[in-house]
Amino acid sequence: MLRNLPPAARLALGLLLLVVLGTTALMLPGVSATQPLTWSEALFTAVSALSVTGLSIILPGRDLTLFGQIILMVLIQIGGVGFMAMTVVILHLIGRRVTYSDRIALRDSLGLVDMPAIMRFTKRILQLVITIELIGAFLLWLHWRATLGDAQAIFYALFHSISAFCNAGFDLFAGVNGAVGIPNDGMTLTVLGALIVLGSLGMPVLFDLWDYREHHRVTLHTRLTVGVVAALIILGTVGFFLAETRPAGVLVNEPFHRQVVLSIFHSVATRTAGYSALSNFEDLTPPGQLLKMALMFIGSAPSSMGGGITTGTFTVLLLALWSYIRSKEATIVLGRTIPSDTIRRAAAVLTLSLGVVFLATWSILVTHPHATLDQVLFEVISAFATCGFSLAFTTELNLFGQLVISFVMFWGRLGALTVAVALAGSPKRELINYPEAQVLIG
């Protein structure tokens, strides 16, 4: 029955099935460190992990046992790599045939265009992911073993390496021994920041850069992605530094070199991961909050571990706007023309995303009378972008608010177009063309 469904619907139902399984796993005996998790706590945590968001109404380091933390880590890994990619890899390992419809669903799951390269691409995903995460875990273990001990440092290093590369933002330090978040020393922030950036670039870009030594060329997508990501990191760093080093800013009491380091890390983490290196993050100034909301909404690259409208959508819309301002009939960049269908898809993603953010924000404001607009809007955009930042509002959500945020995280992980296509069904070909008519705009 599933094979007869459109690829987008199969992706949505597959993720929903994983949410059910993840929720059930988190309610097993031995998962909670104290009393068993309620179904709402398990559901919210499972959705957040599988959507690699990081928003949580529990503290995993305090409220989960080692068994529960391992389950959470597995859910993050599955959510980051993508359940379709994981399924295809497993089918290949056990000798099962991967059908053409499976390949279409995988292409949509990973945001790919080239069908013949899908199987080759999928086989390399697992190898690359494991390699990067193990390197990150080894570096974190070397740094943390002196304070945590070898045994605990191994698991903590592996957990946070997976969480950072998958851009999930879950941590095991908060709530333990008075800690409010991850260690904010330079080495920890450097390793986690590098993992976040690698996870946010997207698999096509990582493979393209890896193959550069052989082919000595990269695709237009890679060039645009790397350029936009670098520009956003720089702009985010400068903007956060200017916003939070003013009087009443969260960085005002830090020395200059720490202000720079923390600004760079938060610029990197804002678009994708949700890791905070500040104990007073909820005290961000209004310009700092606005900057973070903008960066979160843009998000990471397509076919990556992060969410948001993606840098691809953002770049295409900017290029189309620039071409329109210059009265160009086509959108041309670096000697290549961007198809008009790509521009329409980017416009659709932006429109749907704005609609989801608005409706979710309005719904929570109506059902949470004491909540402020900045808290709610920040929370909703963070959930939509699968980022994980919060102005200390996640634990204030009632059951309805938790369900709304869970839906937004689910939507954000699948992507606006995937959800829309899944709900609309297969496209139908129009057999009749109607005459054009002008509609006033602007």
Taking only the tens place, the pLDDT of each residue in 373-418 is 999 999 999 999 988 899 989 989 999 999 999 999 998 888 765 6
The whole-angstrom separation of Cα 316 and Cα 239 is: 23
- What is the mean predicted confidence (pLDDT) over 1-22? 76
Tokens of 248: 């009443």
333 pLDDT exceeds 50? yes
User: How many CB atoms lie under 10 A from the CB of residue 262?
Assistant: 22
The whole-angstrom separation of Cα 215 and Cα 43 is: 46
The three-state secondary structure class of 32 is strand
**Domain for residue 431, yes or no?**
no
The residues with which 333 forms a beta bridge, in sequence order, are 336
**Domain for residue 45, yes or no?**
yes
> Looking at residue 100, what is its pLDDT?
55
DSSP letter assigned to residue 273: T
Could you read off the pLDDT of 339-354 as tens digits, one per residue? 888 888 888 889 989 9
- Tokens 């080759």 belong to which residue? 120
Q: Which of 6-10, 26-30, 407-411 has the lowest mean pLDDT?
A: 6-10
83 pLDDT exceeds 90? no
> Looking at residue 332, what is its pLDDT?
85
CB 166 within 8 A of CB 76: yes
Which H or E run includes 224? Answer: helix 220-244
- φ/ψ of 284, rounded to 5, equals -55, 145
CB 405 within 8 A of CB 379: yes
Which H or E run includes 338? Answer: strand 336-338
**Domain for residue 21, yes or no?**
yes
CB 200 within 8 A of CB 169: no
Look at the alpha carbons of 167, 170, 171, 175 in this order and tell me if their dihedral is positive or negative.
Answer: positive
Could you read off the pLDDT of 194-240 as tens digits, one per residue? 999 998 888 778 878 887 777 778 888 888 999 999 999 999 999 99
136 pLDDT exceeds 70? yes
111 pLDDT exceeds 70? no
**Domain for residue 226, yes or no?**
yes
Tokens of 280: 């007073």
Do the bridges between strand 331-333 and strand 336-338 make them parallel or antiparallel, or are there none, so unpaired? antiparallel
**Domain for residue 105, yes or no?**
yes
> Looking at residue 197, what is its pLDDT?
92
The whole-angstrom separation of Cα 228 and Cα 125 is: 23
At residue 94 the predicted structure's pLDDT band, cuts being 50, 70 and 90, is very low
CB 381 within 8 A of CB 296: yes
End-to-end distance of the chain based on CA atoms, in angstroms? 47
**Mean pLDDT across the chain:** 84
425 pLDDT exceeds 80? no
CB 371 within 8 A of CB 365: yes
> Looking at residue 2, what is its pLDDT?
55
- Tokens 């936009």 belong to which residue? 228
Count CA within 13 A, CB hemisphere, residue 122.
30
Supply the pTM of this predicted model: 0.88
**Domain for residue 153, yes or no?**
yes
**Domain for residue 432, yes or no?**
no
**Domain for residue 359, yes or no?**
yes
The three-state secondary structure class of 390 is coil
Tokens of 318: 């900017």
Helix-strand-coil percent breakdown of the chain, rounded to 5?
65, 0, 30
CB 109 within 8 A of CB 305: no
Number of domains forming the structure of the chain: 1
Across 140-157, b (16+ Cβ under 10 Å) vs e yields bbebbbeebeeeebbbbb
Tokens of 127: 């190898």
Tokens of 327: 């009265």
Residue 383 sits in which domain range?
2-424
85 pLDDT exceeds 70? no
- φ/ψ of 168, rounded to 5, equals -90, -40
421 pLDDT exceeds 90? no
- What is the mean predicted confidence (pLDDT) over 292-303? 89
